[in-house]
């Protein structure tokens, strides 16, 4: 770093790094939205796809356990 | 309202109304958290309960349709 | 509680309590939105009001410290 | 794409694209958190930095207008 690199430059560099990363993150969010739009355009159900993405993130054994509990609660509450 | 009720008072009254409502809302969020803690303490599964609350908010026909689509996607992706 | 009050009834009571509280919370959120709409209708700036609500939530000394730091950072970054 | 590329494969490809993008997005969120931690470690104030990032996102004229309104509201409400 050059001698002129005082605390002000350092703050600017940190802020600019964050801004670039935020920009990149926004771009990826837009890409995700585009993929869902692409899926919707060919007839897929976006809420169901989002739930599938969430399900696939879970460990299989945790997922099976949650499904079992949900079924128990659904029948206890009369949800078919 | 008294004659001194200029724009400044009016702004204060609006802000104070919002603050009271925000306070009330926070109190209810705490109550909801307490009910879940109470349920957890007697052995209920909180994530499953939250999903049940979400499910019960849906119209039965929408729920059945989503379940059907999910089952189709799960079998297409080999999720048991 | 009556003898019929098995775990299923208990689950139902817990879920219904949460649903009532969620309903109440939604009502208050709507009230907050209405107050902001009322303020907007008579010429107040909603984003500024929201920032004022946030500022008033802070302890005065914390607020003054944050303002001082912000001023320092703003001048370091050439933000007038 | 091979002939076997039925709707199931297409769904899988869409889901896998979303998962890769979500993974990438998570990585960038972690990078942003790391930059803030780096800044904190050398003495910068993270809440103030986050506010600076928000401020720099605004058009200068909008920012100046908001500051003016905030000053007006602060003095109306006796916030020093």
- Res D2: pLDDT: 47
Residues of A in contact with D51 (CB under 8 A): none
Reported in sequence order, the residue ranges of chain D that DSSP labels E, i.e. its strands, are none
d(CA D45, CA D72): 27
- Res C1: pLDDT: 45
A75 to each of A71, B70, C11, how far by Cα in Å? Answer: 6, 19, 11
pLDDT in tens, B20-79: 999 999 999 999 999 999 999 999 999 999 999 999 999 999 999 999 999 999 999 999
Mark yes or no for CB contact B21/C38 under 8 Å: no
> How close does chain C come to B18, measured CA to CA in Å?
6
> Is the predicted pLDDT of residue D64 greater than 50, yes or no?
yes
Q: What HEC string does chain A produce?
A: CCCCCCHHHHHHHHHHHHHHHHHHHHHHHHHHHHHHHHHHHCCCCHHHHHHHHHHHHCCHHHHHHHHHHHHHHHHHCCCC
Mean pLDDT along residues A20-27: 98
Residues B41/C17, Cβ–Cβ less than 8 Å: no
- Res D40: pLDDT: 97
> Is the predicted pLDDT of residue C5 greater than 70, yes or no?
no
C55 touches D: beta carbon within 8 Å: yes
- Res B2: pLDDT: 47
In eight-state DSSP terms, residue D78 is T
- Res C6: pLDDT: 80
pLDDT in tens, D6-53: 877 999 999 999 999 999 999 999 999 999 999 999 999 999 999 999
> How close does chain D come to A80, measured CA to CA in Å?
27
d(CA A56, CA D3): 26
Mark yes or no for CB contact B77/D12 under 8 Å: yes
Question: Torsion angle of alpha carbons B36, B41, B47, B48, nearest 10°?
Answer: -100
What end-to-end distance do the CA atoms of chain A give, in Å?
Answer: 66
- Identify from A14, A76, A77 which residue to disrupt to test chain C contact, counting C C-beta atoms within 10 A and taking the largest count: A76
Long-range interactions of B38-44: CB distance < 8 A, separation 24+: B38/C14, B39/C11, B39/C14, B42/C10, B44/C11, B44/C14
Task: For A20, name the nearest residue in chain D, comparing CA atoms only.
Answer: D32
pLDDT in tens, A43-76: 999 999 999 999 999 999 999 999 999 999 999 9
d(CA A14, CA B80): 46
> How close does chain B come to C15, measured CA to CA in Å?
7
Q: Domain boundaries in chain B?
A: 7-76
A39 touches C: beta carbon within 8 Å: no
d(CA A54, CA A68): 17
Enter the ipTM: 0.83
Residue showing tokens 């605004």: D58
Residues C36/B18, Cβ–Cβ less than 8 Å: yes
Ramachandran quadrant class, C43 (left: phi over 0; alpha: psi -120 to 50; beta: rest): left
- When the pLDDT of each residue in chain C is averaged and rounded to a whole number, the result is 93
- Identify from D16, D77, D78 which residue to disrupt to test chain B contact, counting B C-beta atoms within 10 A and taking the largest count: D77
d(CA C50, CA C55): 9
C28 touches D: beta carbon within 8 Å: no
- Res B78: pLDDT: 93
Mean pLDDT along residues C43-69: 96
């Amino acid at each position: 770093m050059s001698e002129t690199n005082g605390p002000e430059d350092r703050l600017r560099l940190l802020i600019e790094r964050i801004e670039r990363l935020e920009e990149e993150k926004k771009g990826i969010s837009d890409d995700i939205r585009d993929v869902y739009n692409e899926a919707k355009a060919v007839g897929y159900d976006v809420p169901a796809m989002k739930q599938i993405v969430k399900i696939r993130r879970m460990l299989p054994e945790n997922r099976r356990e949650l499904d079992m509990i949900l079924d128990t609660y659904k029948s206890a509450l009369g949800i078919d």
